[in-house]
């Protein structure tokens, strides 16, 4: 059920100057998603009456990410600071909302439970503002919580305005707050752009609330990592590392072995079954689903792949938008893409590319092959170096190979073409016509053996390589040699 008395506001209008990027900050990615998408996903289960995102820089692109997740957007143009952004958000917040959680679009590690706890703490204290703070080892860049001698919050001081003494404060402002709106709005109206950036800082509203003797509290985040913001590329890398570690931990908790986990990258929507083993340097991306008892060997990249149980992916294989049925094997150095499907016990070996093709049960294609737009029946063997010539320069054409077929090495199958059940194709064939079931298809030049030809050719070449002049010189040298040796004696 939605909590009808509070809204959530996500500030996502800023450019992100410190990233030095053409892409708006909140669209940068960490842990397999854009920053703002992480934030929205953490907010939705809190069930507020509405989620409003303040957009501005690349507003359309940011809206395209958040709108499908049920977020309303409001445009801040120009962007005159976090305080100004909240004033702009007011337009979209229902008058029935008493409270608002406010959070930045660049702090993506925040969890739903922490937001719910923040609202609870705010309600229980009857506060005007509740700040989520955190104690972190390196607070540089963050606004700091200034407390009075009695421990109550006096103000938030931005990093750029800190005195030397204040710089030692390790309690930072996460920029995640809960406000009682009727107390906040009048304070926002008094804000002045008294800072180097000439912006209206939301953080200044805290001191104003205090001056008005309103209750302001700061609650420490139990996990300081949760509030990390992304202002720089280094921040993005640090946050990405946390997401990746969390995901690996969840996968290992589900009964999966990961060797050298810090080298393995797993996107948030990936699922992996128990007793699967993942070797170092593996990437599992997109909506990849892996069954139980599989082995994904080193250096392999799987994206939007589906693996049933007991599948073996040997080193350095790419499996992209493809399906591997149980007990199938692929690699090393294989490339399966765009709708490749291996049925049970099918095997694809090294330097084999399979595109939009089905390899039936037990099919083997072990070496140096391209199979594109092909349908291959069960029990068929595809020889080394086989190529389906599926593209005629305009269209992609299908190759259909029946069951228990033997395709000899170095066969080119010029599509569209069919090879019937039980047929053989001789090695080195260029197959341009259908091969009927149980037939032998042979399409290569006739071999001719000319006896003694090579030896005769060698003789001819060696006599051609010795010009007459040089032969004369050699003869005279040979004759001269014994005479010189006689003189020596």
**What H or E segment, with its residue span, contains residue 468?**
helix 468-488
Task: Select the binding partner of residue 13 from Mg ion, ligand UD1, none (C-beta < 5 to 8 A, by kind).
Answer: ligand UD1
Nearest approach, Cβ of residue 178 and Mg ion (Å): 19
Q: Is 367 a catalytic residue?
A: yes
Structure-token match 């700040």, residue found? 131
Given a contact cutoff of 8 angstroms between Cβ atoms, the answer to whether 39 and 107 are in contact is: yes
Given a contact cutoff of 8 angstroms between Cβ atoms, the answer to whether 205 and 214 are in contact is: no
Which among 28, 38, 367, 375 is annotated as catalytic? Answer: 367
Three-state secondary-structure class, residue 94? coil
| Farthest CA pair distance, the chain | 124
Q: Could you write out the three-class secondary structure of 224-241?
A: HHHHCCCCCHHHHHHHHH
Nearer to ligand UD1, 14 or 291 (CB): 14
Three-state secondary-structure class, residue 168? helix
Task: Select the binding partner of residue 209 from Mg ion, ligand UD1, none (C-beta < 5 to 8 A, by kind).
Answer: none
Neighbours of 190 (CB within 10 A): 12
Nearest approach, Cβ of residue 40 and ligand UD1 (Å): 12
Q: How far apart are the first and last CA of the chain?
A: 118
List interacting residues with ligand UD1 (CB under 6 A).
11-14, 25-26, 54, 76, 79-82, 84-85, 104-107, 142-143, 156, 158, 172-175, 201-203, 229, 231
Nearer to ligand UD1, 55 or 307 (CB): 55
Task: Select the binding partner of residue 142 from Mg ion, ligand UD1, none (C-beta < 5 to 8 A, by kind).
Answer: ligand UD1
Task: Select the binding partner of residue 202 from ligand UD1, Mg ion, none (C-beta < 5 to 8 A, by kind).
Answer: ligand UD1
* Omega cis (within 30) before 194: no
Nearer to Mg ion, 37 or 267 (CB): 37
Residue nearest to ligand UD1 (CB): 143
Nearest approach, Cβ of residue 71 and ligand UD1 (Å): 14
Nearest approach, Cβ of residue 66 and Mg ion (Å): 18
Nearest approach, Cβ of residue 321 and ligand UD1 (Å): 33
* HSE (side-chain half, CA atoms, 13 Å) at 306: 10
Q: How far is CA 318 from the centre of its chain?
A: 14
Nearer to ligand UD1, 11 or 221 (CB): 11
Nearer to ligand UD1, 82 or 276 (CB): 82
Contacts of 44 (CB under 8 A, 6+ apart): 51, 69, 70
Q: What is each CA distance from 265 to 279, 317, 337, 443, in whole angstroms?
A: 11, 15, 20, 47
Task: Select the binding partner of residue 143 from Mg ion, ligand UD1, none (C-beta < 5 to 8 A, by kind).
Answer: ligand UD1
DSSP 445: P
Task: Select the binding partner of residue 381 from Mg ion, ligand UD1, none (C-beta < 5 to 8 A, by kind).
Answer: none
Nearest approach, Cβ of residue 144 and Mg ion (Å): 14
Nearer to ligand UD1, 32 or 139 (CB): 139
CA 153, CA 165: separation in Å to the nearest integer?
17
Nearer to ligand UD1, 52 or 302 (CB): 52
Nearest approach, Cβ of residue 304 and ligand UD1 (Å): 30
Angle between helices 59-66 and 35-43 (to 10 degrees): 40
**What's the Rg (C-alpha) of the chain?**
35
List interacting residues with Mg ion (CB under 5 A).
106, 229, 231
Task: Select the binding partner of residue 172 from ligand UD1, Mg ion, none (C-beta < 5 to 8 A, by kind).
Answer: ligand UD1
Residues taking part in catalysis = 367
């Amino acid at each position: 059920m939605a909590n009808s008395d509070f809204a959530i506001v996500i500030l996502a209008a800023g450019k992100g100057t410190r990233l030095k990027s053409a892409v708006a900050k909140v669209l940068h990615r960490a842990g397999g998603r854009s920053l703002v998408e992480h934030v929205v996903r953490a907010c939705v289960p809190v069930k507020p009456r509405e989620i409003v995102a303040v957009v501005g820089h690349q507003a359309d692109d940011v809206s395209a990410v958040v709108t499908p997740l049920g977020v309303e957007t409001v445009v801040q143009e120009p962007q005159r600071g976090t305080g100004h952004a909240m004033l702009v958000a007011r337009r979209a917040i229902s008058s029935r909302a008493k409270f608002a959680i406010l959070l930045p679009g660049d702090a993506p590690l925040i969890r739903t439970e922490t937001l719910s706890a923040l609202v609870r703490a705010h309600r229980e204290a009857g506060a005007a503002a509740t700040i989520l703070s955190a104690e972190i080892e390196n607070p540089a860049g963050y606004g700091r919580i200034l407390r009075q001698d009695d421990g109550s919050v006096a103000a938030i001081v931005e990093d750029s305005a800190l005195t030397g003494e204040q710089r030692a404060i390790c309690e930072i402002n996460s920029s995640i707050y809960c406000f009682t709106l009727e107390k906040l709005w009048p304070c926002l109206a008094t804000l002045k752009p008294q800072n180097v950036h000439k912006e209206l800082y939301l953080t200044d509203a805290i001191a104003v609330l205090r001056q008005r003797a309103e209750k302001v509290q700061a609650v420490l985040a139990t996990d300081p990592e949760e509030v990390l913001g992304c202002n720089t590329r280094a921040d993005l890398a640090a946050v990405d590392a946390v997401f990746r570690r969390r995901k690996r931990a969840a996968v290992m908790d589900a009964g999966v072995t990961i060797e050298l986990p810090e080298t393995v990258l797993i996107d948030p929507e990936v699922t992996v079954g128990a007793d699967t083993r993942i070797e170092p340097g593996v990437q599992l991306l997109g909506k990849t689903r892996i069954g139980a008892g599989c082995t994904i060997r080193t250096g392999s990249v799987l994206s939007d792949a589906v693996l049933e149980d007991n599948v073996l992916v040997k080193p350095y294989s790419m499996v992209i938008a493809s399906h591997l049925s149980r007990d199938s094997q692929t690699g090393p150095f294989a490339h399966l893409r765009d709708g490749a499907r291996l049925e049970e016990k099918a095997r694809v070996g090294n330097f084999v590319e399979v595109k939009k093709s089905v390899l039936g049960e037990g099919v083997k294609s072990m070496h140096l092959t391209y199979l594109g737009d092909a349908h291959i029946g069960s029990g068929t063997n595809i020889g080394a170096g086989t190529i389906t010539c599926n593209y005629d320069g305009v269209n992609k054409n299908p190759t259909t190979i029946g069951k228990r077929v033997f395709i000899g090495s170095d066969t080119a199958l010029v599509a569209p073409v069919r090879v019937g059940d039980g047929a053989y194709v001789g090695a080195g064939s260029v197959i341009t016509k259908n091969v009927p079931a149980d037939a032998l298809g042979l399409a290569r030049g006739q071999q001719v053996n000319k006896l003694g030809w090579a030896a005769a050719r060698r003789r001819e070449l060696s006599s051609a390589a010795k010009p007459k002049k040089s032969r004369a010189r050699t003869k005279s040298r040979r004759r001269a040699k014994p005479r010189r040796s006689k003189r020596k004696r």
